[in-house]
């Protein structure tokens, strides 16, 4: 029997349709098999599609699962934000509660509403506690893999793996121009990411001409996409890295505006808040979203 499944495209980290990072969202996935979900994610052909299912956790409103066109992943920031925005606006969650809580493979992800004049302006998700670890790889090799010069690497900061749910390689770069001109060797980058169990490779710079606090690009061939336009998970991990590596002053609260996606004509803005908590920090990633497409899939 054919099932009709509602689906949405939600552009995350933007206020403009066709900006930011598009995520697929399936709000009612309770009757889908794992194979159905993977096929739908492949059909929608976005970097990630989120599927909402009933949760058995008393502290969660839904279970959320994320699929790329080729595989399931444990966490996706922009799909979480897009799903929360959709549930707040199309499914009236703003009227039910001041937040929504998703149960994911990495734990509970609460997402709260940020309102101005009774209008939803952003949603803000709390990511899992940040972790940072070293990696045995030379700056020259990293530069070659991401398609920049070794002299473009900003050696004031370490190349490390950072994690607020999934691991990302943090690559400090001196200039935005170098990041924009990066031409990664995707096959070799995919191999390196798999060798070190890294989800994405995240280039960042403080050279933004005052437009943002930080500017980034994110490459992720090993999860089935060459470049992710605006990356909630990686920029959350970046906030944790900056704090834990003492690049941002510890025991102080920081709010960062991060720009991403401009090189591939999907410009977006993320707002990352870092709040000290004992030896670690709480990382929140916020942004707006726009529902751009809605329809039905016949399964």
**pTM (whole model) above 0.85:** yes
Reference 238, options 161, 152, 145; nearest CA is 161
- Say if residue 14 is in the same domain as residue 88: yes
Q: How many domains does the chain have?
A: 2
Same domain for 177 and 60: no
Domain containing 245 — which CATH number?
3.10.310.10
Same domain as 267, residue 173: yes
Considering the domain architecture, whether residues 200 and 239 belong to the same structural domain is answered as yes
* C-alpha dihedral sign at 289, 281, 193, 258: positive
167/44 same-domain check: no
Is residue 115 domain-shared with residue 221, that is, in the same domain?
Answer: no
pLDDT of residue 14: 96
Active site residues: 48
- Mean pLDDT rounded to a whole number for the chain: 96
Domain that holds residue 23: 4-123+289-298
Looking at the structure, tell me whether residues 138 and 256 fall in a common domain.
yes
CA distances from 111 to 69, 74, 140, 209 (A): 25, 17, 39, 31
Q: What's the distance, CA 163 to chain centroid?
A: 12
In angstroms, rounded to a whole number, what is the distance separating the alpha carbons of residues 297 and 299? 6
Q: Give percent of the chain with pLDDT exceeding 70.
A: 100
Tens of pLDDT, residues 34-47? 999 999 999 999 98
Examine the domain organization and report whether 94 and 12 are in the same domain: yes
Q: Which of 101, 79, 118 has its CA nearest to residue 225?
A: 79
Exposure string (b/e) for 193-206, b if CB count within 10 Å is 16 or more? beeeebbbbbbbbb
Can you give the pLDDT at residue 1? 76
Do 110 and 215 lie in one domain? The reply is no
């Amino acid at each position: 029997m054919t099932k009709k499944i509602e689906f949405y495209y939600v552009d995350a980290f933007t206020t403009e349709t066709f900006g930011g990072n598009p995520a697929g969202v399936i709000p009612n996935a309770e009757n889908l098999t794992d194979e159905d979900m993977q096929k739908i994610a492949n059909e929608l052909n976005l970097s990630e599609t989120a599927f909402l299912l009933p949760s058995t956790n008393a502290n969660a409103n839904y279970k959320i699962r994320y699929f790329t066109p080729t595989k399931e992943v444990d966490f996706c920031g922009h799909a979480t934000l897009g799903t929360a925005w959709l549930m707040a606006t199309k499914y009236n969650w703003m009227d039910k509660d001041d937040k929504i809580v998703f149960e994911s493979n990495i734990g509970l992800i609460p997402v709260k509403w940020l309102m101005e004049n009774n209008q939803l302006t952003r949603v803000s998700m709390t990511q899992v506690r940040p972790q940072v670890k070293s990696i045995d790889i030379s700056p020259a090799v990293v530069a070659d893999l991401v398609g920049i010069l070794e002299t473009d690497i900003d050696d004031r900061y370490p190349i490390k793996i950072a994690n607020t749910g999934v691991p990302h390689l943090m690559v400090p770069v001196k200039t935005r121009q170098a990041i924009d001109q990066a031409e990664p060797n995707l096959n070799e980058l995919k191999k390196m990411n798999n060798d070190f169990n890294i989800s994405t490779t995240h280039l960042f710079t403080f050279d933004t001409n005052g437009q943002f606090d930080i500017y980034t690009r994110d490459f992720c061939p090993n999860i089935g996409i060459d470049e992710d336009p605006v990356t909630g998970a990686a920029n959350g991990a970046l906030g944790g890295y900056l704090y834990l590596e003492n690049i941002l002053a510890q025991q102080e609260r920081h709010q960062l505006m991060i720009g991403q996606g401009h090189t591939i004509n999907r410009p977006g803005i993320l707002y990352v808040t870092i709040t000290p908590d004992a030896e670690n920090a709480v990382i929140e990633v916020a942004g707006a979203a726009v529902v751009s497409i809605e329809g039905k899939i016949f399964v």
